[in-house]
Amino acid sequence: MKACFFILAVNLVLSGAAHAAPVNMDYVHAVKTGGDTTVFFKGESAQAFRNPAANLTEEEIELHLKGDALFESNFSDDTSRSEYGLGPVYNNTNCAACHAKDGRGQLPVVPFGKEWVQLKQNESIFLRISIEDGLNHPKNAATNWGAPIPVPGFSDQLFHLGSMGARTDFPGAGQAQVWMKNEKSAFTYPDGEVVQLRKPVFKITGAYDEYFDSVTGQMRSRLYEKDVKTSPRMGTLMIGLGLLEAIKESDILALAARDLSDEGVYGKVNWVLDIKKLMSNDPYPVSMGRFGLKNNTPSVFHQSLGALRGDIGVTNYAFPQESIAGTPLFEQFKKNTNYPGKLETADEVGDGLVFYSQTLAIPSRRNVTEAEVIRGAGLFAQVNCTTCHQPSFVTGPHEIKAFSNQKIYPYTDMLLHDMGDGLADGRQDFDANGRQWKTRPLWGIGHTQTVNPRAGFLHDGRARTIEEAILWHGGEAEHSKGKFVNLPKADRTALIQFIRSL
Partner 1 sequence: MKTLKMMAMAIAFMGLTAQAATNKEIINHISYKVILATYNDLATEAANLSTAVSALAANPTTETLTAAQNQWRVTRIPWESSEAFLFGPVDSLGIDPMLDTWPLNKLDLDAVLSGNRAISTDFVRNLPVTLQGFHTIEYLLFGEGKTSNNKPVSSLTAKQLEYAKATAALLAEYTANLANAWSKNHDPEDPTTPGYVKIISQPGVNNQIYSSERAVMEEFIQGMIGIADEVANGKMSDPMGGDIASANMALVESPFAWNSLNDFSFNVRSIYSIYTGNYRDAKGPGVKALVEKVDAELASRVEADILNCIQLIQAIRPAKGGDFGQAIFTHDGRARTQKAIDALNALRETLESEVLPTLDM
Residues of this chain that interact with partner 1 (CB under 8 A) are: 41-47, 65, 69, 74, 76-78, 80-82, 93, 97, 100-101, 106, 109-112, 118, 120-123, 161, 163-165, 171-173, 182, 366-367, 449-455, 464-465, 497, 500
Closest approach of Cβ 287 to partner 1, in Å? 35
CB of 76 to partner 1, least distance (A): 6
Can you tell me the distance from the alpha carbon of 438 to that of 419, in angstroms, rounded to the nearest whole number? 9
Q: Which is nearer to partner 1, 364 or 439 (CB)?
A: 364
338-356: string of b/e by CB count within 10 Å (b at 16+)? ebeeebbbeeebbbbbbbb
Tell me how far, at minimum, the Cβ of 322 lies from partner 1, in Å. 18
d(CA 404, CA 272) in angstroms, rounded, equals: 24
Spatial neighbors of 498 by CB under 8 A, at least 6 apart, are 373, 374, 375, 376, 377, 379, 380
How large is the greatest C-alpha to C-alpha distance in the chain, in angstroms?
78
Q: Give, for 126, the enclosing helix (H) or strand (E).
A: strand 125-131
Q: Rounded to the nearest whole angstrom, what is the least distance from the CB of residue 158 to partner 1 in the complex?
A: 16
* CB of 334 vs partner 1, minimal distance in Å: 16
Per-residue exposure over 237-256, b if at least 16 CB sit within 10 Å of its own CB, e if not: bbbbbbbbbbbeeebbeebb
How many Å apart are CA 247 and CA 300, to the nearest integer? Answer: 13
Q: Assign residue 458 a region: left if phi > 0, alpha if psi is -120 to 50, beta otherwise?
A: left
Which residue number, 398 or 454, has a Cβ lying nearer to partner 1?
454
Q: 449: helix, coil or strand?
A: helix
In angstroms, what is the minimal distance from the CB of 109 to partner 1? 5
Q: Are 285 and 296 in contact (CB under 8 A)?
A: no
CB of 312 to partner 1, least distance (A): 12
Nearby residues of 375 by Cβ (< 8 Å), 6 or more positions away: 491, 494, 498
SS3 204: strand
Distance of closest approach, residue 327 Cβ to partner 1, in angstroms: 21
CB 77 within 8 A of CB 267: no
Nearest-angstrom CA–CA distance, 488 and 242: 39
Closest separation between CB of residue 493 and partner 1, Å? 10
- Closest to partner 1 by CB, 41 vs 211, is 41
* Cα-only R_g, the chain: 23
CA separation for the pair 437, 427 (Å, rounded) = 11
Of 230 and 449, nearer to partner 1 (C-beta) is: 449
Of the two residues 44 and 347, which places its CB atom closer to partner 1 in the complex?
44
Name which of 118 and 205 has its Cβ closer to partner 1: 118
**Closer CB to partner 1, residue 233 or residue 277?**
233
Minimum distance between the CB of residue 467 and partner 1, rounded to whole angstroms?
A: 10
Pairing mode, strands 194-205 and 211-213:
unpaired
CB contact at 8 A, 454 and 97? no
Residue 336 vs 404, nearer CB to partner 1: 336
Interatomic CA distance for residues 38 and 502, integer angstroms? 12
Compare residues 99 and 139 and give the one whose CB is closer to partner 1.
99
The number of residues in the chain equals 502
Nearer to partner 1 (CB atom), residue 97 or residue 360 = 97
Q: In this complex, which beta carbon is closest to partner 1, that of residue 138 or of residue 453?
A: 453
Buried b (16+ CB within 10 A) or exposed e, 206-228: bbbbbeeeeeeeeeebbbbeeeb
157/497 with CB nearer partner 1: 497
What minimum distance in Å lies between the beta carbon of 308 and partner 1? 18
User: Shortest approach of partner 1 to residue 41 CB, angstroms?
Assistant: 6
